[in-house]
Structure 1
Amino acid sequence: MDNSDEDNQNSSENSFNEMVTAAIAGGYVIVYMLQVPPQGNHVIRVPELTGRQWVDKLLSDDSRCFESCRMQPENLIRLHNILHDCYGLKGSREFESIEALAVFLWAYGTNQCQRQMHERFRRGMGTCSNVFSYVLAAMTKFADDVLRPRDTTYSVLPAELLEYTPFFDGCIGAMDETHIDVIVDQGVRDNHINRKGKTTQNMVAICDFNMRFTYIDVGTEGSTHDMHVKKKADDDASFSRPPSGRYYLVDPGYALRPGFLTPYPNKRYWVKEFQTRGLVTRRRCSTGTIPGCIMS
């Protein structure tokens, strides 16, 4: 009788243990079934670099630095030292000075907006705007000192003109204009539409024979004629006017004036003009009577 009771008790305990084991196993099965299956393109999150770490990587890679900031690492460091020592470029709690300069060059050189700056560097929109304006002010002061002739008297004939002497002994550079695409408010958009239908600014630049820019003027609406842009430059105190006996080479969009030499009319200059027969005149080109010859 006692043995029978003991067997029944052991059987009950075994049954209970089996039930517990089955319940635990069932729980594991349910948990596994509720898990989200792994996706085919699993994204591995990589910790983002801080702004300073990003700059350090740029400075260690010449090609990457040139693609992002449009200059070699040694030139970026040199520019930073000049702006820091002479033009008041200082760091802040949000940005170090070299980090702010690199971000400015990256945004300016690769056509990035402030929202992309905010997304890339995880800084506030207001902070990105303030940093860009702060570096731009320092760069503007730097440009005012750099964009000017080395010798305002032009007493030395450039080596590039020696083989053409004495025909271009008085030439000190070339002056031309170009259009830069811009985005402006709707209220002033019509004034910025050029003859090609694009919203632009008409800028003028002067370059010497050492391939150095000596003057740049920007901000004029795209619909403005080249001569009006030149008159605006004449009123600028930083404009380097040709001294007596010197002149700039300009295109036919400017008038022939003392100090500004335009191409001689009724002469061939461009390749397409040499592909036509007869004398090419400015009037025939402008009216389109000569195929392939269009003068701006």
Structure 2
Amino acid sequence: MSSSEDSYISDNSSEGMQIYNVAAAVVLVARLKAAVANAAPVVNPALPFPKMSRRQWMQLKLQNEQKCKENLRMSPDAFLHLHNILLEYGLKGTQQTGSIETLGLYVWTCAHNEAARRSRDRFERSLDTVSRKLTHVAEVICRWVDSILVLTDRSYDRVHAQFLTYAPFFDGCIGALDGTHIKVSVNKEAKRDYINRKGDVTINVCDIVDKDMRFTFVGAGMVGSVHDMAVLREC
């Protein structure tokens, strides 16, 4: 066999090896695609970090003023100041739910006008716990309100200095009274009683302020359908 024939045989064997490698790579890629397609999908993989507790969530929000205002509609200083005030009026927490988390649950629910079930999802507490905490904070706030909505002069033995110019027309005037309607959500059975003359579901609120524009009385709770005179008699 001549040298030219040897060279021809060598070239053919090299080309055959290249074709074989390409074919093997194509088969390998096809097998990989089939394996990936048949692989079971991973549903809800485990988180790489432990779950954050609601107490930790409150602490993080109180450390960030912007996030605190977005979630609680008040600054961290204002929230902690309110918390310290309400402690004096009976605000309490438990080992599972501290007083800060209890107040945070109430403020968050009111700030976003949410239902108790949404608060349950946000704070991951049972519906019973959410209901009891909301009721507890509401009762504490009512006790606090009763201590600040008071008259500065219960005897009314003097006329306000700003009324002296108009004497005797405002002698005996102790303040200004007005009422308003606040929209509320009620169950279907009671909804008809709360519909006011404009068709809104509301409660009546009657307010009295003194000459310095300080609230001295707030009466709320009467259904929206009652007459103003019924509200005045009740207040």
TM over 0.5: yes
* Counterpart residue number, 1:57: 60
CA distance in 1, matches of 2:67, 2:165: 41
- For residue 215 of structure 2, the aligned residue among 190, 195, 213 is 213
2:17 alignment counterpart: none
What is the one-letter code of the residue matched to 2:53? T
Q: Which runs of 5+ in 1 are unaligned?
A: 1-17, 38-43, 234-296
Alignment CA distance shift 1:190-1:45 (3 Å): farther
Cα deviation, 1:201-228, whole Å, max 9, x if unaligned, reads: 1121112233332111112111111111
What is the alpha-carbon distance in structure 2 between the residues aligned to residue 211 and residue 71 of structure 1? 23
Pairing 1:32–2:29 present: no
**Identity of counterpart residues, as a percentage?**
36
Distance 1:187 1:115, change over 3 A: closer
Q: Per residue, is there more helix in 1 or in 2?
A: 2
Residues 95/170 of structure 1: CA separation in 2 closer, same or farther (3 Å cut): same
**2:225 counterpart residue number:** 223
How large is the RMSD of aligned CA atoms in angstroms? 3.4
Deviations 1:215-253 (A, max 9, x none): 1111211111111101011xxxxxxxxxxxxxxxxxxxx
Following superposition, the deviation at residue 48 of structure 1 comes to: 6.7
| Residues 1:55 and 1:228: Cα distance change in structure 2 (over 3 Å) | same
The reply to whether residue 78 of structure 1 matches residue 81 of structure 2 is: yes
Distance 1:224 1:45 in 2: 58
1:213-292 matched pairs, under 5 angstroms: 213-233=215-235
Q: TM-score, normalised by structure 2?
A: 0.72
Distance 1:194 1:29, change over 3 A: closer
- Aligned length, in residue pairs: 206
Secondary structure at the aligned position of 1:229 is classed as helix
Residue 183 of structure 1, aligned match among 181, 185, 204: 185
| Equivalent residue, structure 1, for 2:119 | 117
Distance (Å, rounded) in 1 between the aligned partners of 2:51 and 2:206: 42
1:46–1:173 CA distance, 2 compared to 1 (3 A): farther
